[in-house]
């Protein structure tokens, strides 16, 4: 409701501005004063609307829930426990997620059963805090299942770190009435203006002709500049500011400025300047190039597709792969369930001979800190018992002559649990695993 009022306020301001432009210069002094008064009222109402959004911020408290209670288990349709009742209490505290105004599920009428009404409330909670609940999983549509990220947000609310904004209906009605009154004043003023006759404009006095200036002596033509270096050449319609960075052995990260009109970007690489082969495409403003040879120099560029048309090449970047050897091209085969436990099977490549051992590390955060989870004597490792709805960041090192290499490039993988016992990989796993498809 409040958002609608704000929209109407802004719309009224736009209408008023357009009206001002058409009436100014043809109205009498009284009309001008009336317009100024209406403008002031619009400004005041806009400020009151903004203040209403910021009013009545409270930290939620839940006397019905033990102070030391925290959610631990996931919940979905069919779940039945005291945790479900506490979930419903939290949802009912916020008008945006309230289950019902009366009857079963309403404030004071919470139950221990997770049904369709509770599922709808969880969906609204996930939409409201989508940045924290849905975005980490790269999911656009709320699931209604209270999994890891939803549980984390519920515990944040219990700990008082989430502030609820509650604006009274009386305050909203007061703003709405003021807005309607302003609109009526604008209508009346418009009628007055339409009854006015346009005042004739006084003819302008002709300007005296200016004396002609003496012609300047022609400048000597400048010598044409030589062609730009290949690294600086860029088509006008190509992505801008292409940059390249070695992030691991055999792996390069490309970044460029985002273009909101671009449907996708296409990456090119070659071993000679401006002699490219298509590498892959992406909808993001960055991409990974992997499997590059140690000591080799590569030339790379990016194009963009807008309205189905591919642009010319971006500026060219040249990069020499001089990072010390480490495993590269880390990836996974299809995840599976082994002995009722979810597993992720990692695989990688190496150009190094006589590798004695590989060490596998993982983290729940991008770029670590990493924790060692195992070792392998071949180019494969099975991580058993990974958590549902957790995103993992893996890196691999190799031991040669007793010395451990740098980390490989970071590999992301995840499992996603949708509705309790049914288990399957993350719905957008391929987008997570590969920056360039």
Is it the case that residue 336 has pLDDT exceeding 60?
yes
Whole-angstrom CA distances from 15 to 18, 38, 288 are: 5, 12, 49
The reported pLDDT for the residue numbered 305 is 94
The reported pLDDT for the residue numbered 437 is 35
Q: Which residue has the higher pLDDT, 335 or 65?
A: 65
In this predicted model, what pLDDT tens digit does every residue of 161-206 receive, in sequence order?
555 555 555 666 677 677 777 777 776 776 666 666 544 545 556 5
The reported pLDDT for the residue numbered 18 is 39
Q: What average pLDDT does the structure give for the chain?
A: 76
In this predicted model, what pLDDT tens digit does every residue of 372-405 receive, in sequence order?
999 999 999 988 877 766 788 899 999 988 888 8
Return the CATH superfamily for domain 328-433. Immunoglobulins (2.60.40.10)
**Is residue 416 very low, low, confident or very high in pLDDT (cuts 50, 70, 90)?**
low
Whole-angstrom CA distances from 238 to 102, 266, 267 are: 58, 11, 12
Are the beta carbons of 401 and 389 closer than 8 angstroms? Answer: no
Whole-angstrom CA distances from 243 to 238, 286, 320, 328 are: 14, 9, 14, 21
- Return the CATH class of domain 71-161: mainly alpha
Is it the case that residue 3 has pLDDT exceeding 50?
no
The reported pLDDT for the residue numbered 14 is 40
What would the mean pLDDT of 363-367 be, rounded to a whole number?
86
Distance from C-alpha of 249 to C-alpha of 292, rounded to nearest angstrom: 8
Q: Which residues pair with 177 in a beta bridge?
A: none
What is the reported pTM? Answer: 0.33
Whether residue 369 has a cis bond before it, omega within 30° of 0: yes
**Is residue 132 very low, low, confident or very high in pLDDT (cuts 50, 70, 90)?**
confident
Whole-angstrom CA distances from 99 to 128, 201, 384 are: 15, 65, 39
The reported pLDDT for the residue numbered 46 is 73
- Pick from 199, 281, 290, 220: nearest CA to 251: 290
Q: Which residue has the higher pLDDT, 208 or 44?
A: 44
Q: Which residue has the higher pLDDT, 108 or 25?
A: 108
- Pick from 398, 387, 6: nearest CA to 175: 6
DSSP 164-201: EE---HHHHHHHHHHHHHHHHHHHHHHHHHHHSPPPPP
- Range with lowest mean pLDDT among 45-54, 107-116, 152-161: 45-54
**Is residue 234 very low, low, confident or very high in pLDDT (cuts 50, 70, 90)?**
confident
Distance from C-alpha of 411 to C-alpha of 327, rounded to nearest angstrom: 12
| CATH code at 230-320 | 2.60.40.10
**Dihedral angle over CA of 251, 252, 258, 259, nearest 10:** -90
The reported pLDDT for the residue numbered 259 is 92
């Amino acid at each position: 409701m409040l958002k609608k009022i704000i929209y109407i306020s802004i719309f009224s301001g736009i209408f008023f501005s357009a009206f001002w432009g058409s009436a100014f210069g043809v109205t009498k002094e009284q009309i001008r004063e009336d317009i100024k008064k209406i403008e002031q009222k619009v400004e005041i109402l806009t400020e009151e609307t903004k203040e209403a959004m910021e009013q009545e911020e409270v930290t939620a408290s839940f006397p019905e829930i033990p102070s030391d209670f925290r959610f631990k288990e996931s919940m979905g349709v069919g779940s039945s426990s005291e945790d479900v009742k506490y979930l419903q209490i939290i949802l009912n505290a916020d008008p945006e997620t309230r289950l019902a105004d009366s009857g079963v599920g309403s404030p004071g009428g919470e139950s221990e059963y997770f049904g369709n009404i509770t599922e709808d409330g969880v969906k609204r909670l996930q939409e409201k805090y989508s940045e924290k609940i849905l975005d980490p999983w790269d999911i656009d549509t709320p699931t209604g299942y209270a999994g890891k990220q939803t549980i984390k947000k519920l515990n944040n609310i219990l700990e008082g770190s989430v502030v609820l904004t509650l604006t009274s209906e009386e305050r909203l009605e007061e703003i709405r009435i003021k807005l309607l009154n302003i609109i009526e004043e604008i209508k009346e003023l418009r009628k007055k203006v339409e009854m006015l006759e346009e005042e004739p404009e006084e003819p302008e006095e002709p300007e005296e002709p200016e004396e002609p200036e003496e012609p300047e002596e022609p400048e000597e033509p400048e010598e044409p500049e030589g062609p730009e270096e290949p690294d600086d050449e860029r088509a006008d319609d190509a992505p801008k500011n292409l940059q390249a960075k070695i992030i691991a052995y055999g792996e390069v990260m490309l970044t460029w400025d985002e273009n909101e009109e671009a449907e996708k970007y296409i990456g090119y690489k070659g071993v000679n300047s401006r002699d490219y082969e298509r590498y892959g495409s992406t909808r993001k403003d960055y991409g990974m190039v992997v499997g590059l040879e140690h000591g080799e120099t590569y030339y790379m560029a990016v194009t963009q597709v807008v309205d189905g048309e591919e642009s010319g090449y971006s500026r060219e970047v040249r990069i020499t792969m001089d990072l010390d050897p480490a495993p590269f091209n880390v990836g996974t085969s299809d995840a599976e369930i082994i002995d009722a436990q979810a597993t992720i099977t990692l695989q990688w490549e190496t150009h190094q001979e006589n590798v004695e051992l590989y060490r596998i590390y993982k983290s729940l955060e991008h770029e670590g800190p990493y924790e060692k989870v195992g070792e392998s004597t071949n180019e494969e490792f099975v991580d058993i018992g990974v958590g549902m709805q957790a995103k993992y960041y893996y890196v691999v090192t190799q031991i040669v002559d007793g010395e451990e290499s740098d980390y490989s490039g970071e590999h992301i993988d995840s499992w996603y649990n949708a509705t309790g016992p049914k288990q399957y990989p993350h719905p957008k796993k391929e987008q997570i695993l590969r920056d360039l498809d």
